[in-house]
A and B are shown apart, each in its own frame.
Chain A
């Protein structure tokens, strides 16, 4: 048998202290579709970035066409015929299709003469090869998402790519568009191209893939031929046996329902018909894949994108938060996902960050009271164990875990009833993670109702009293705390037999 197109051996990569890849083996043959599967954070993106040259591996070897390739950079990767189609196409919206193709395919100095007819001819040929009869003069901004994907694929073909990586290409496609894309992928395979196909949809794997590799916690747990694999087998591979991690147990049984949500939705946020109860002292985990609508749900509850359907009942009263300001006054608190950008204000000192959402309560009349503010900050530094250079240290000088605690402190200062946490331990080191877990459980113990969005499966299972699973913008399943990871993952993926959107 000839050498594989691409072969990765014992690839390792760490970011700071976090090990993203711990020795991954992977190979891709000419003329095959090789599916790459794994939970969020299993290392798929890191693996792809190493293959496309965006990241340098810390260790391991990369072989292309049987020749050792060394660590790749984007240029070399391109020259070796590696191309990546991302979920969100990376094209220039203001330029035409032909110009977008030319930008990547043409070489030469900035003063060379441009041959427009040749440009258009080539674009037309390439578009025909991917089955997209588009006018190359059209601006990319006028194209639909699937059309843009086809342009990307055309571009990859034009560059002579023999290794094409597709990162969840069908996540935003309709059934028809998906079928058409599958046709293009099969066409590529027939032409001898190797395709690395990443997806969360199990049915796609069975429809398309020749082999499947499953990544878990930065390791490849197995490569199998797709034929003969069953769905439960795949899920078990993805989830694996859980390492028992000590999560703080609930101190009391949950109390009365604080929040009743019925049929909640917002069309343009892709959230529909969400119903659940959240009790005082309860942690309700929200599991699901990226894009399942969990953050969008939190944003609706917090008034950032007000609902256009359904009701929110807070302590027996129907409420309609239409802005974060109203939501804060009602007793909602939201620690957003993107802490680095919007959780804390990096320029402001810790104390100012902590008091920011509670000005009305702390400073009646609008006069700041520095003494009260300092006391508040010192209390939180003590209670939450924030490691910092004092209450007036700039928030930007703290570590990620401590910034997250400051973000939490800001909301605790408002005396909320419902705490919405969106990926509270993302990018936080192990030690701080355990502390944040204890804090969250402690807050629930004080009677706070907590909605915990987390893509970390062990975390959401270990922390939650109940687990809600979202898929396709709605809450599909409610499981008891400590549910089997397979069950949560199966619910998040949906049944393989169920048709995709």
Chain B
């Protein structure tokens, strides 16, 4: 279909970058650092999936980084209290879902603009956490790191989980009526309403699902280290949204695929390490990522313009 060339161009850019690395810095492809990189980015992928759902629905959620921090700290404290891992995970997921549902209620139920709502929740959770924890790290009990699987197996588990979820969500977007409704509401909420769809329910669902995915991402991040940093997740929402936009999801809603989001994230996440391996100064990373985002948005603008 028409959307493919866009994802294809992201894929080609990624392929070109990898080819350059293969030619000039084959060291990049050493298995263990590459796996570590992938495991570090796996949580970002889940947050980006949530952000993609919200953006397809023609909304925006900039509170995911703060949700991530709150869920991380709470999960860490519960684990430190001696809760079994399954109970910690359940509680964390419930908390993330609730935080997402609150955004959804404020946007869909009260009709407030999502940029303002999620800006408010972003600041509130982040500052609330700072006031509550005073910046203290949470020490995790032994055995939680890598779920006791050891680093390599743990990293593979995280990567597999994230990719499996991405696949499931992509299939759901394609094969569930709910997925179709998401696109319909994002394209034209009034038309969707006239077709008997409830745009409010769909929007609420998108924010709630994004919250749940962020909570899962937080859990996947917590088990990668022996401590929980209360400042974790800072800037995460921007990384996620950047991946979504670069991946070809229309910021105006209604169009885009999760496969593109994966490519977008891979491209953005490869830039930093690639610079190191290509011996280009590392402070170019942000500039290059910014340029990629601008390019993506400009390409979107060109497509939006009537032919």
**Counting CB contacts under 8 A, is B197 at the interface?**
yes
State which of A323, A328, A343, A356 has its C-beta within 8 Å of the C-beta of B184: A356
A342-B188 in contact given A352-B180, A357-B196 (Cβ < 8 Å): yes
Question: Is B110 interfacial (CB 8 A cutoff)?
Answer: no
| Chain B residues whose C-beta falls within 8 Å of the C-beta of A327 in the assembled complex | 196
Q: Give the interface SS of chain B, mostly helix, strand, loop or mixed.
A: helix
Closest residue on chain B to residue A325 by CB atoms:
B196
B209 smallest CB distance to A (angstroms): 15
Cβ A336 vs Cβ B194 within 8 A: yes
User: Is A392 an interface residue, CB under 8 A from the partner?
Assistant: yes
Segment of B12-20, B45-53, B171-179 engaged in the interface with chain A: B171-179
Evaluate contact between A344 and B191: CB separation under 8 angstroms: yes
* A324 near B191: Cβ-Cβ < 8 Å: no
Interface size class of A (residues with CB under 8 A): 20 to 34
Output the least CB separation between B58 and chain A (Å): 11
Contact flags (1/0) for B184-198 with A, using CB distance below 8 Å?
100110111111111
Can you name the residue of chain B whose Cβ is closest to the Cβ of A363? B177
A112 within 8 A of B: no
Q: What is the 8 Å Cβ interface bit string for chain A, positions 142-186, against chain B (1 contact, 0 not)? A: 000000000000000000000000000000000000000000000
- Other-chain contact of B196, A328, A343, A394 (Cβ < 8 Å): A328
If the complex has contacts A366-B177, A366-B178, are A347 and B254 also in contact, measured as CB distance less than 8 A?
A: yes
Over the window 400-429 of chain A, the binary record of Cβ atoms lying under 8 Å from chain B Cβ atoms (1 yes, 0 no) is: 000000000010001000000000000000
Q: Which of B178, B179, B180, B191 is the one whose CB lies under 8 Å from A342? A: B191
Contacts of A341 in B (CB 8 A): 188, 190-191
Report how far A280 CA is from B183 CA in the complex, Å: 36
Residue in B177, B184, B198 whose Cβ sees the most chain A Cβ within 10 Å: B177
Return the chain A residue nearest B185 by Cβ. Answer: A345
Q: Does A120 contact B (CB under 8 A)?
A: no
Given A325-B197, A357-B196, A392-B1, check contact A367 B175 (CB 8 Å): yes
Q: Is A368 an interface residue (CB 8 A)?
A: yes
CB atoms of A367 and B184 under 8 A apart: no
B192: chain A residues at CB < 8 Å are 345, 356
- Selected from A302, A323, A336, A347, the residue in CB contact (under 8 A) with B255 is A347
Q: Any chain A CB within 8 A of the CB of B279?
A: no
The yes or no answer to A329 lying at the interface (CB within 8 A) is yes
* Beta-carbon contact of A356 and B197 below 8 Å: yes
Q: Is B283 part of the binding interface, using a Cβ–Cβ cutoff of 8 Å?
A: no
Bound together, the chains give a CA A346 to CA B253 distance in angstroms of: 13
CA distance A328 to B197 in the complex (A): 10
A197 partner residues in chain B, CB cutoff 8 A: none
- B301, chain A: closest CB distance, angstroms: 16
Asked if A380 is at the interface of the complex by the 8 Å CB criterion, the answer is no
Write out the residue numbers on chain A whose beta carbons fall within 8 Å of the beta carbon of B176. 366-368
A348–B177 CB distance below 8 A: no
Q: Does B2 sit within 8 A of A, measured CB to CB?
A: yes
Q: How far is the CB of A440 from chain B (nearest CB, A)?
A: 19
A-B contacts, 17 of them at CB < 8 A, read A304-B193, A304-B194, A324-B193, A324-B194, A324-B196, A334-B194, A342-B188, A344-B191, A345-B188, A347-B255, A348-B183, A348-B187, A352-B180, A356-B180, A357-B196, A366-B177, A367-B175
Q: What are the nearest 6 A-B pairs in CB distance?
A: A328-B196, A347-B187, A342-B191, A357-B195, A356-B195, A359-B177
